[in-house]
Amino acid sequence: MTGETVRARDHGTQEQRAGADAPAETVGALGGGAPEQPAGVDAPETVHAIDRHAQVQPAGANAPGETVRALDHGTQERHVGADTPDGAGGITGEIVRVLARECGLELAGVAAAEPVADAARYRQWVAAGYAGEMRYLTDRRAAVREDPRSLLRSARSIICAGKLYQTPWPLSTQFDDEARAWISRYAWGDDYHDTLRRGLERLAARLGEHAGEFEYKICVDTAPLLERSYARLAGLGWIGRNTCLINQQSGSWFFLGEILVSLDIAPDGPPPDRCGTCRRCIDACPTAAIVPGVAGYTVDSRLCISYFTIEQRGSTPDEERGGMGANVFGCDICQDVCPWNRRAPLTPDAAFAPRHFAPPLENLAGLTEQEFRTMFRGTPVTRARYAGFLRNVAIAMGNRARPEFRAPLEKLAASEDRVVAEHARWALDRVAQRSC
Question: Which residue of the set 42, 118, 221, 300 is catalytic?
Answer: 221
CA distances in angstroms from 328 to 116, 156, 168, 307, 311, listed in the order given: 35, 41, 21, 11, 12
Q: Per DSSP, what are the bridge partners of residue 18?
A: 2
Rounded distance between C-alpha atoms, residue 302 and residue 170, angstroms: 28
Distance, CA of 9 to CA of 125 (rounded, Å): 14
Q: How far apart are CA 44 and CA 55, in angstroms?
A: 22
Terminal-to-terminal C-alpha distance of the chain: 42
Q: Which residues contact 435 (CB under 8 A, 6 or more apart)?
A: 403
Measured CA to CA, the distance from residue 329 to residue 385 in angstroms comes to 11
Q: H-helix or E-strand containing 158?
A: strand 157-164
Task: Tell me the C-alpha distance between 327 and 372, whole Å.
Answer: 17
Q: Is 118 a catalytic residue?
A: no
Q: What is the DSSP letter of 15?
A: -
Q: Give yes or no for a contact between 89 and 221, defined as CB atoms under 8 angstroms apart.
A: no
User: For residue 387, which of 316, 306, 301 has the smallest C-alpha distance?
Assistant: 316
Catalytic residues: 221
